[in-house]
Amino acid sequence: MMQTSIFRTNVQKAILLGAICFFSIASSYTAIAQNNLSIEKLWSLGRLNANGVSADGKYAFYGVSTPNVAENKSAHKDYKIQISDGRVSEVKAESQLDKYDNAKLSPDGKKIIFTKEVAIEKIIGADKYADLPKSNAYVFTSLNNRHWDTYEDGSYSHVFLADFSNGKISNEIDLMEGEKFDCPQKPHGGAEDLLWSPDGKSVLYVTKKKYGTDYAISTNTDIYEYQLANQQTTNLTEGMMGYDVAPAFSKNGRMLAWLSMARDGFESDKQDVVILDWLTRTKKNLTKNYDETINSFLWSNDNKKIFLEVPYRGTIQLFETMVAQDAPPMQRERRMAPRNVVHQITNGQFDINGLVGQSGGNLIVSRSDMNHASELYNVDLQSGEMKQLTHVNDAAYNNINMCKVVGRTTTATDGSQLFSWVIYPPNFDANKKYPTLLYCQGGPQGTISQFYSFRWNFQLMASQGYIVVIPNRRGCQGWGTQWNEAISKDWGGQAIQDYLSAFDDVAKEKYVDAKKCGAVGASYGGYSVFMLAGVHNNRFKSFIAHDGLFDLQSWYGNTEELWFANFDIGGPYWDKNNDAYTKFNPAHYADNWNTPIMIVQGGKDFRVGNEQGFAAFQTAQLKGIKSKLLYLPEENHWVLKAQNAQVWQREFYSWLSETLK
């Protein structure tokens, strides 16, 4: 799901943490295992996070986190690299702003904005009743009583404005005083949700001014402007009913751009780039007529272009679109129209997963593929040619066998062309037979691209001896808005058929061992596994479902972001005209279950609650089906702790080894 989705992995912001396994699935692969990606090698890789480009364009800044399994955490270092010659040096500077959350100085350095929690409501027993200080009871009178992995405790994150001198703040003003709203947006918002106007006269911040049950059924975030001179707050996106996020000014301060969705309640709506002329306050949707969604954007240094990160045909690529140049006031509204269509800059079998900053005629980006974790690259904006800038993991990859990744097109049951990535084991031999896995993506409106996950790692799967089939089924981004939206209200329909079509197409190859095939996935992918368990007609010999939806009716009664269920499932289960709760409910097909299944459930997953995984496991057990439950009581919809992640991966491959012998 976009933003705080149950199934998104945000992907753009959201690189999954995880683990790998020391387990080789079969003795026939042991001889080459030391050269293939392994648990130890994956956990030795550095995980790069891009931090920006210096104002003069000479340096790129990035951080590298390396997991320390024994400590159950990661070690982190920050670096800068000279773009011209690649010289790297560690950055150890400590900022006096570090003690303030999401702190940003005004352009003149005299004021500061930051965020902090403010207690507004008395929800916990100890707060409501002074004579009961040890009470940890919660008293709720509306929804949004919990979100993601946290219960509402009556505190809200607010934006504060203050004077700043010698590292100290004074004269604090709460710009959201008394309001039961959050900035940054919970659970995944950050410093991108607030900023200064370039002239220092205004503060902008993102929030959803809805409370309680209204919050739980709406996606309508807005961008607000607080003017220092008159202390007035204005909604800059009044009447824009979906997500409005990530505001950023052009370098000259003349234009404000942000990401915007049109429809309230559809968190995976097409995401456009909207610009606002800061002088005339006129708006223009720059990408309205473009048929793909925009992950993120970056202003060019000359203010004439906006660079775009776009899911496209099974990858994520760099695009650009024009913005009108300076014009007299009477002509400015007309000149704000795009001067040409969205133009593609890069093309290849990789993902652009971060727009870092411009350096002259080049753009620094973060890039990954299914065989390589993210590194920084220098993109020539004229030719699209790319040069690797950082080399965090080169030495490691020089000793790891790469996996062949091939695109494959299948004719779906409705006649549409269905694209899949297929990744093969190292040293693949077409004259041998290999066990094969169908990977089911979350989202459900997610992106199947060249991403590199540290848990759902396709290179690792293939390196254990599996062929992995990764379909861009209905609902995946990068194939137009119609394809992306086709999965809504049809969860168990065409998308499930797409999975089977893609798998069957690969399974007909002589190198696929039809007796050793499985299906795996998380979130909507876990739902897909549960659905397939009831309709696969003995194609598969093993299943793994992580945080999947097993019973849609109980899920609707327990999940927290109800806007998602209302849009994608079509409303509540008590609506007699909504047949999704029977037609597309995995629990209704459980009488057909006959295949070994492993179920993973996070204990703090409020998006897909405990009852889903426990009910599925109990069903399998009562039916006498070989089954395993991996319960992670301290994890949410993801697996974040290093040692838990390693347990996850070891159990994952152990299960496949047991069931696909």
Instruction: Report, as residue numbers or ranges, the catalytic residues.
Output: 523, 605, 637
Backbone angles phi, psi at 464, to 5 degrees: -90, 5
For 262-266, the CB contacts below 8 A with 24+ separation are 264/218, 264/219, 264/220, 264/563, 265/217, 265/218, 265/219, 265/563, 265/566, 265/567, 266/219, 266/242, 266/488, 266/563, 266/567
Q: Which two tokens stand for residue 165?
A: 């001198």
**What is the amino acid identity at position 33?**
A
412 contact partners, CB below 8 Å, separation of at least 6: 418, 494, 497, 498, 501
Q: Which of 630, 576, 566, 574 is nearest to 603 (CA)?
A: 630
* Nearest CA-CA partner of 521 in 474, 568, 469: 469
Measuring CA to CA, which residue among 519, 541, 523, 513 is closest to residue 532?
A: 519
The three-state DSSP-derived secondary structure of 115-149 is EEEEECCCCEHHHHCCCCCCCCCECCCCCCCEECC
Distance of CA 64 to the CA centre of its chain: 19
Fill in the DSSP letter of residue 458: H
Q: Which amino acid is at 17?
A: L
Q: How far apart are CA 471 and CA 418, in angstroms?
A: 7
d(CA 302, CA 307): 12
Geometric angle at alpha carbon 346, from 342 and 347, rounded to 5°: 105
d(CA 392, CA 376): 9
